[in-house]
Chains A and B, each alone.
Chain A
Amino acid sequence: NAGVMQNPRHLVRRRGQEARLRCSPMKGHSHVYWYRQLPEEGLKFMVYLQKENIIDESGMPKERFSAEFPKEGPSILRIQQVVRGDSAAYFCASSPGQGYQPQHFGDGTRLSIL
């Protein structure tokens, strides 16, 4: 039973390029959460999505960042015109539904900006 799958594991981009991070939730999970982790810091919530809906994007920077979770396929976190400060580990988590459902995390994507 595969867990939360994220790809790529490592991504290197030059300043100004676009970064696309993918997340496939666990089987049977319809809720996806994206978190960002800076070095030696905790995880910070970015966005919460259900299929075809953004439920809460209060943690997303207002510019350059967007997320989607289409009816078919993985959730995508997209960062346009990347800057050095975007370098971080980006983790995706999924849960089966609302309420007291534990979130299970993927292995993360480590984004490095040159």
Chain B
Amino acid sequence: GENVEQHPSTLSVQEGDSAVIKCTYSDSASNYFPWYKQELGKRPQLIIDIRSNVGEKKDQRIAVTLNKTAKHFSLHITETQPEDSAVYFCAASINSGYSTLTFGKGTMLLVSP
């Protein structure tokens, strides 16, 4: 089955810096890649997603890039703010008519003021 590796496990940045989280996947059939943000004790919230027919997608300060050949995708957060502090999860899905997600183990992002 699919395996998703996520790095780093923890990331500390200063407010205003950029943060990059990287994920690799094993199954070349995966074609949908969402990113979720989870604050302590709360639900995972979808922040951005990308399909395999697109190489990059942006939404304000957040962007995701996908390299299908290398089987990796990355989350980029610019101008980080303290409220960006949370655990971020990447996921991959083989869309065979449904979208069960295989998650990475998460990255704890800490943005210091």
Interface residues of A (CB under 8 A from B): 4, 31, 33, 35, 40-45, 48, 55-56, 58-59, 91, 95, 98-108
Report whether A103 and B101 are in contact in the complex, using a CB–CB cutoff of 8 Å: yes
CA distance A103 to B6 in the complex (A): 20
Interface size grouping (class) on chain B:
20 to 34
A107 to B41 alpha-carbon distance, docked (Å): 8
Closest residue to B31 on the A side, CB-wise? A100
- CB within 8 A of B43: which of A59, A95, A101, A106? A106
* CB neighbors of A among B8-23 (8 A): none
Tally inter-chain residue pairs, CB-CB below 8 A: 61
Q: Are A55 and B49 in contact (CB under 8 A)?
A: no
Quick check: is B102 within 8 A (CB to CB) of the other chain?
A: yes
* Nearest neighbor of A106 in chain B, beta-carbon distance: B43
Binding site for A on B (CB under 8 A): 1, 4, 6, 32, 34, 36, 42-46, 49, 51, 89, 95, 97-106
Cross-chain contact A105 with B49 (CB below 8 angstroms): no
The answer to whether A99 and B99 touch across the interface, beta carbons within 8 angstroms, is: yes
Least CB separation from A42: chain B residue: B103
Taking the closest CB of chain B, its distance from the CB of A88, in whole angstroms, is 14
- B104: which A residues are within 8 A, CB to CB? 42
Please determine whether B44 and A48 come into contact, CB atoms closer than 8 angstroms: no
Nearest residue, chain B, Cβ from A41: B105
Partner of B34, one of A40, A58, A99, A102: A102
Which residue of chain B has the shortest Cβ distance to A3 in the bound complex? B43
Flag if B89 contacts A105 (CB, 8 Å): no
